[in-house]
Each structure stands twice: as C-alpha cells, then as structure tokens.
C-alpha cells in the first residue's frame, strides 16, 4: 500500500481516488509527500519520496486522476533510471492501493521547498521549458543535505539493490600502445 502524504494546499484539491482497503504490499521506496507549486504560471504537483528524496513532477490540473498519474510517472522515472522491468512491475503492484494522508515530515517538506526554489530558478530565470523528465533528472543529481549530500537517484537505486552505472573510462590501457 502506497501512502501519499499531501500538504493542506493539495488536500483541498481532493487528490484521489483513494482506497479504504488495506494490503500487505509495501513499495520499496515507501511513502511520498506531495505539494502544489506554481512554475511559469502553471500548477505543478511536486512529489518527493520520503526515503530517497527522489522527485516526480505532475501537471496540477486533473486532481481526481492525480494518483493514477503519479503511479505512471514513478514507473517512467524508474525506467529512466535503468531499473529492470520486473522490479518496476513489483513497485507498481505495491502502489495499487493508495491512501492519501496529511503531510507529517518537516524534513521532507524542507527538501521539497529546496526543490521548488531550484525549479523556479531553472524554469523562470533560465527560461527553461517544463520538460518534466529533464527537470526530474536534474533534481536527482542535486546533492541533498538531508541525505548527507548524496544524490537522490543513488539512494533510490541503492534501495532497490542496484548501483548507479559507472561512467566508462576514457583512458586507454597501456597494452594498446606498442612501440
């Protein structure tokens, strides 16, 4: 069961639908926090994972369909991170049942505020478009103080037992050169 913890501002928009039923499945990444922000005069829902601080962006207009849109964005984000399809399917299955609750972590909310300020800078001051994939990727490559200055992408991959791909070395081994 996925718990999506929303700020009061977002709860007033009635993000749903939610389930009253319970299940034993727990997403690897655990619960998420969500807040309604504005970027370039467009309402955006910023969702941040409680464990890894991985961020997901959603359009903030179709609130009754927010939970379904969230699940789809998480799956797309995990795929972009290079996780295998079977792991993504298991994470999505654990997010079939969703409960919307009020926010409860000042630490996560503070990180969300940091992300919101960074997004506003990226979009409004640098005239960047609202390319959600690029903005999410950029946020996941920002060292976070709440994670002891680790990257949220690396923390999320570690939660799944994966490690980020190492850049390929551009150094040519000495054995390739002959005199």
E runs forming strands in the chain: 2-6, 32-39, 42-49, 55-59, 98-102, 143-144, 150-151
Res. 124 pLDDT band, cuts 50 70 90: confident
Alpha carbon distances (Å) from 25 to 44, 94, 145, 154: 29, 5, 30, 23
Encode pLDDT of 143-177 as tens digits.
999 999 999 999 999 999 965 544 434 444 444 43
pLDDT of res. 172: 42
**pTM, full prediction:** 0.86
Average pLDDT value for residue range 40-61: 95
pLDDT of res. 127: 66
Joined together, the tokens standing for residue 165 give 């791909």
Specify the CATH architecture of the domain 2-162: 2-Layer Sandwich (3.30)
Res. 44 pLDDT band, cuts 50 70 90: very high
pLDDT of res. 18: 61
């Amino acid at each position: 069961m996925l718990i999506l913890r929303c700020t009061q501002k977002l709860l007033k928009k009635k993000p749903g639908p939610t389930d009253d039923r319970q299940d034993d499945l727990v997403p690897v990444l655990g619960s998420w926090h969500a807040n309604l922000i504005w970027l370039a005069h467009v309402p955006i829902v910023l969702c941040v994972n409680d464990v890894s601080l991985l961020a997901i962006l959603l359009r903030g207009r179709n609130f009754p369909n927010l939970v379904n849109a969230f699940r789809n964005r998480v799956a797309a984000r995990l795929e972009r991170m290079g996780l295998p399809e079977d792991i993504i399917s298991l994470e999505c299955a654990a997010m079939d049942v969703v409960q919307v609750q009020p926010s409860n972590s000042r630490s996560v909310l503070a990180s969300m505020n940091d992300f919101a300020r960074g997004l506003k800078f990226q979009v409004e001051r640098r005239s960047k478009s609202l390319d959600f994939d690029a903005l999410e990727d950029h946020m996941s490559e920002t060292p976070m103080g709440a994670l002891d200055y680790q990257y949220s992408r690396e923390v999320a991959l570690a939660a799944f037992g994966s490690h980020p791909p190492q850049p390929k070395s551009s150094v040519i081994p000495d054995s390739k050169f002959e005199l």
